[in-house]
């Protein structure tokens, strides 16, 4: 694990470096507080820090305050080294953002024990962050396909429409439905149906750009949001999406299955933010119904764009 040691005394710095290296740490050394703050600000910087109280440029409490003023970064556990022993000084250091302190000269065994405590706290923080991110993912993603779920994809669509107003750029939408999906379930079983939905999701995701969005609208229906895509581009992009599904059979545990999509497509050039998003979805759904009624495995484009 990386650890930063900041001390303006070269002898103390070298001694501390040797002790920590023997304990298995990857040690980064600096000789003033300003350098320490910069190192701890790096994206891959150390998350353990041993900071001397008295240093040029920026003292130990100053380093603590600067590190704690940042938001959104991984937590840094800071241990202050000080010759100050009054309770007022200790309180000032802790209030500045230090997690712990050691009085100089410190015993190597105590130093190692305090740093092990810091590592345990950082490990706990990592577990809490991981649990939070897992909960956030589950709240916004479909469990079967790992695509955006209905609520999340509609929220992203609203954001893209708002952005299109600000930037005067178009947004296109594809409402896709897997053809004869009930028949797939009836003939091959629901587990194979799940395999098909997962593969459809993978192919849709790979068929669009990294800054587009794909979500599961519900059942066998999917939404693709294509930002910055005008009506002419949509005709090319929609066919690419459709063919991504139909060109190659799906490999399943029951053997290869031919799958196709019906797609309703619409471009929004000048979205009126006073209109409910349901009006747009209704237009896309009507185009999708037209694709189904016309024989499936095709794209139908909405003739009337929602505009101001």
Q: What residues does 27 pair with on adjacent strands? A: 3
**Under DSSP, is residue 273 helix (H, G, I), strand (E, B) or coil?**
coil
Q: Running DSSP on this structure, what letter comes out for residue 73?
A: S
**Under DSSP, is residue 82 helix (H, G, I), strand (E, B) or coil?**
strand
CB 106 within 8 A of CB 81: yes
Residue 256 neighbours by CB under 8 Å, 6+ apart: 249, 250
- Does 296 score more than 90 pLDDT? yes
CB 17 within 8 A of CB 63: no
pLDDT score, position 131: 92
- Does 71 score more than 70 pLDDT? no
- Show which residues are catalytic: 220
CB 180 within 8 A of CB 188: no
pLDDT score, position 103: 84
- Which residue has tokens 């098909």? 196
Domain boundaries, the chain: 2-139, 150-301
Alpha helices in 56-208 (DSSP H): 60-68, 87-95, 108-140, 150-167, 181-188, 190-207
The CATH-assigned architecture of domain 2-139 is: 3-Layer(aba) Sandwich (3.40)
User: Do 2-139 and 150-301 show the same overall fold?
Assistant: no
Integer Cα distance of 158 and 270 in angstroms: 13
CATH 3.30.70.270 for domain 150-301, yes or no, is yes
Integer Cα distance of 216 and 140 in angstroms: 11
Q: What is the pLDDT of residues 171-215, one digit of tens each?
A: 999 999 999 999 999 999 999 999 999 999 999 999 999 999 999
Q: What is the pLDDT of residues 132-177, one digit of tens each?
A: 989 999 999 999 999 999 999 999 999 999 999 889 899 999 999 9
**End-to-end CA gap in the chain:** 58
**pTM for the complete prediction?**
0.72
């Amino acid at each position: 694990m990386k650890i930063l040691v900041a001390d303006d005394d070269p002898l103390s710095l070298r001694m501390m470096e040797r002790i920590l290296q023997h304990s298995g740490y990857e040690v980064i050394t600096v000789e003033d507080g300003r350098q320490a703050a910069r190192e701890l600000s790096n994206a891959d910087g150390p998350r353990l820090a041993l900071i001397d109280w008295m240093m040029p440029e920026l003292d130990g409490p100053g380093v603590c305050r600067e590190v704690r003023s940042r938001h959104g970064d991984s937590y840094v556990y800071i241990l202050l080294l000080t010759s100050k022993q009054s309770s007022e000084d200790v309180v000032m250091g802790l209030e500045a953002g230090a997690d712990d302190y050691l009085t100089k000269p410190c015993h190597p065994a105590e130093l190692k024990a305090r740093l092990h405590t810091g590592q345990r706290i950082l490990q706990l923080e990592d577990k809490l962050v991981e649990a939070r991110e897992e909960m956030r993912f589950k709240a916004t993603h479909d469990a079967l396909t790992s695509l955006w779920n209905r609520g999340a994809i509609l929220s992203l669509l609203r954001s893209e429409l708002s952005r299109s107003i600000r930037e005067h750029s178009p947004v296109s939408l594809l409402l896709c439905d897997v053809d004869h999906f009930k028949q797939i379930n009836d003939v091959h079983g629901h587990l194979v149906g799940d395999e098909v939905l997962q593969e459809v999701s993978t192919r849709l995701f790979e068929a669009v750009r990294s800054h587009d969005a794909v979500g599961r609208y519900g059942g066998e229906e999917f939404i693709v949001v294509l930002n910055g895509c005008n009506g002419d581009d949509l005709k090319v992009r929609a066919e690419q999406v459709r063919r991504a599904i139909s060109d190659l059979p799906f490999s399943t545990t029951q053997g290869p299955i031919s799958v196709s999509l019906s797609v309703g497509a619409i471009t929004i050039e000048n979205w009126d933010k006073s209109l409910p998003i349901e009006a747009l979805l209704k237009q896309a759904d009507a185009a999708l119904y037209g694709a189904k009624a016309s024989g499936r495995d095709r794209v139908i484009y909405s003739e009337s764009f929602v505009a101001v």
